[in-house]
Each structure stands twice: as structure tokens, then as C-alpha cells.
């Protein structure tokens, strides 16, 4: 479904995506990484919005570098950008209907049905005739999500889809995405990755530094997490937990109370290794 080999994209002197190889068939693929790591740039290429400078990219078995195949990909692709350009004077219904027209849903009755279906999928049916400018941030996010879902795409490319959603809506999003064929999703929300993703890629400064399952990412910190009442100055990372004890990452001292790692631990340890001198 997505096959990227040695993808590179630069903006002037900034190498935003640097030799990235990624492959994903079905399921939800998470993209983690700090601000500026290159996630959005990679997603924009996967959404056919941005052309790579180098490398090869195939989406749904087609080549987005060819105009005719790009059109075919776009018919089967849903994209949620990081900053969705919603028209504040439109209603959610108008906005989604507009996208459905662009996606060539020409039959009026079927289009009306599809627009209502996606608005209901993101539970916006009660506000679908209110102006977008009068909606809350989380509701606007769901309008953008509804736009991406029009036509039941084979490939969903989502930039921080859970942004601004309340816990109830996040749960709804999980069910929606679990039912989708292939989803490539950038997120800062690690609990979203553990709940949803079969595969996770972690990027730092344009490069993929980890590819594997969420359990494998957590496993990077196996035997390297311990808790203590006092802060350990030798830990590479430590923080106070709500129970009042410190959680530490690094090489545990002898006799330390080593605990099972979480996905956060694996990610934080990887990030620390990345920034180590």
C-alpha cells in the first residue's frame, strides 16, 4: 500500500526527510518524533501534496510521480493535514459536501448520503448546519477528519488526528481507524500508538531511527527502567511520578527496583540516545 525507498526532501539547506525507507501494507502505522523531525513532510509526500527530491515512492501500487497515476491515487486517498484549511463561513455539511464534489461524487443523492455518513461517523450530525467558525476546536478537527473519510479511502494519511479531541472522541477515532484498510498517522500521543498501531516508525532530524512494533519500541527500555524514592543523578532521564517515587531510565544500579518498560520509556530512551554526545 505504501512503499517508500530512500525518500529525501529538502527545503533550501534543511534536509527535512533524509533517506527514509518505509513500507506498510494494512493496519495503522504510527509516526513518532519530536517537533521538526520531518513527520509532516513525509506525510505530505505520502498524500501526493509534495514531490520527493530523491528516492522512490509507491502508493496503492501506483507511482505518484506520474500525473495519470497520481489522479488514481487521489481518488482512493484521504488526507488530514496538520493545519486543515476549513472555510469558517461554511457549515460542516457544506465543507464535507465540497470535498465530496472534488472527489468526484457526482450523484447528488449518493453524495448526500455519503456526507451524512461521514459526519455521523465523527458524531457531528447535531452541529452539521452550524457555521464552522462557531464550533469548538475539537469539533473543527472532526470536520477535517470527516473530509478525509469521504469515499471510504483505501489509504488514510493523517497528521495528528487526535489533536484537540476529548477522551470520548479519541475512543471513537480509534474505532474508525481500526476499521480503515491502511492508515499512516503522525502523532505526539504515545497512548494512541499503543492503542492503535501495529507498526511504529520513530524519526529524528529527518531520519528513521526505529521501525518495529509498539512492543519492540517499549522493549528498547527492557531492564533499563527503575523506580526509587530518591532521584538518581546517574540516570539518563528521571521524573517524579504521581505516587511520589522517581522513575529512572538508564543503567540501573545494583539492587535497583527494575520495572517493566512502557512505550513512553522506550521512546524517551531512544530520544536520549539520539541526543547523547
Ligand X SMILES: Nc1ncnc2c1ncn2[C@@H]1O[C@H](COP(=O)(O)OP(=O)(O)OP(=O)(O)O)[C@@H](O)[C@H]1O
Residues that bind ligand X (CB under 6 A): 11, 14, 16, 33, 35-41, 82
Task: Kindly state the smallest distance separating residue 50's Cβ from ligand X, in Å.
Answer: 9
Nearer Cβ to ligand X (14/56) = 14
- Let me know: does 24 contact 182? Beta carbons within 8 Å: yes
Nearer Cβ to ligand X (43/95) = 43
What torsion, rounded to 10 degrees, do the Cα atoms 29, 35, 38, 40 define? 60
DSSP state of 62: B
- Let me know: does 17 contact 206? Beta carbons within 8 Å: yes
Nearer Cβ to ligand X (160/265) = 160
Task: Kindly state the smallest distance separating residue 9's Cβ from ligand X, in Å.
Answer: 8
Q: Residue 4 in 3-state DSSP?
A: strand
Beta-bridge mates of residue 14: 11
Nearer Cβ to ligand X (11/87) = 11
**C-alpha to C-alpha distances, 105 to 44, 109, 211, 266, nearest whole angstrom:** 24, 10, 37, 44
151 Cβ contact list (under 8 Å, min separation 6) = 75, 76, 78, 100, 103, 105, 114
Q: Residue 132 in 3-state DSSP?
A: helix
203 Cβ contact list (under 8 Å, min separation 6) = 20, 31, 32, 33, 37, 38, 39, 42, 209
Nearer Cβ to ligand X (39/111) = 39
Nearer Cβ to ligand X (18/114) = 18
276 Cβ contact list (under 8 Å, min separation 6) = 236
Q: Which residue has the cell 498517522?
A: 185
Nearer Cβ to ligand X (13/233) = 13
Amino acid at each position: 500500500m505504501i512503499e517508500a525507498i530512500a525518500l529525501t526532501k529538502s527545503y533550501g539547506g534543511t534536509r527535512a526527510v533524509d533517506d527514509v525507507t518505509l513500507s506498510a501494507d494494512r493496519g495503522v502505522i504510527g509516526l513518532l518524533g519530536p517537533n521538526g523531525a520531518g513527520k509532516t513532510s513525509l506525510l505530505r509526500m505520502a498524500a501526493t501534496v509534495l514531490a520527493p527530491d530523491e528516492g522512490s515512492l509507491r502508493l496503492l501500487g501506483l507511482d505518484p510521480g506520474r500525473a495519470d497515476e497520481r489522479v488514481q491515487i487521489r481518488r482512493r486517498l484521504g488526507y488530514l493535514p496538520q493545519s486543515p484549511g476549513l472555510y469558517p463561513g461554511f457549515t460542516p455539511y457544506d465543507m464535507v459536501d465540497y470535498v465530496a464534489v472534488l472527489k468526484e461524487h457526482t450523484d447528488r443523492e449518493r453524495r448526500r448520503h455519503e456526507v451524512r455518513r461521514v459526519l455521523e461517523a465523527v458524531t457531528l450530525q447535531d452541529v452539521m448546519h452550524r457555521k464552522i467558525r462557531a464550533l469548538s476546536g475539537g469539533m473543527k478537527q472532526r470536520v477535517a477528519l470527516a473530509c478525509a473519510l469521504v469515499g471510504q479511502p483505501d489509504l488514510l494519511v493523517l497528521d495528528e488526528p487526535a489533536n484537540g479531541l476529548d477522551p470520548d472522541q479519541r475512543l471513537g477515532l480509534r474505532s474508525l481507524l481500526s476499521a480503515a484498510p491502511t492508515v499512516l498517522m503522525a502523532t505526539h500521543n504515545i497512548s494512541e500508538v499503543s492503542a492503535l498501531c501495529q507498526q511504529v516508525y520513530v524519526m529524528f532530524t529527518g531520519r528513521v531511527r526505529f521501525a518495529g512494533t509498539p512492543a519492540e519500541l517499549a522493549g528498547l527500555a527492557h531492564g533499563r527502567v527503575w523506580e526509587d524514592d530518591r532521584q538518581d543523578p546517574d540516570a539518563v532521564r528521571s521524573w517524579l511520578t504521581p505516587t511520589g517515587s522517581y522513575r529512572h531510565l538508564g543503567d540501573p544500579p545494583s539492587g535497583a527496583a527494575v520495572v517493566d518498560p512502557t512505550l513512553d520509556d522506550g521512546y524517551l530512551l531512544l530520544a536520549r540516545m539520539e541526543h547523547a554526545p
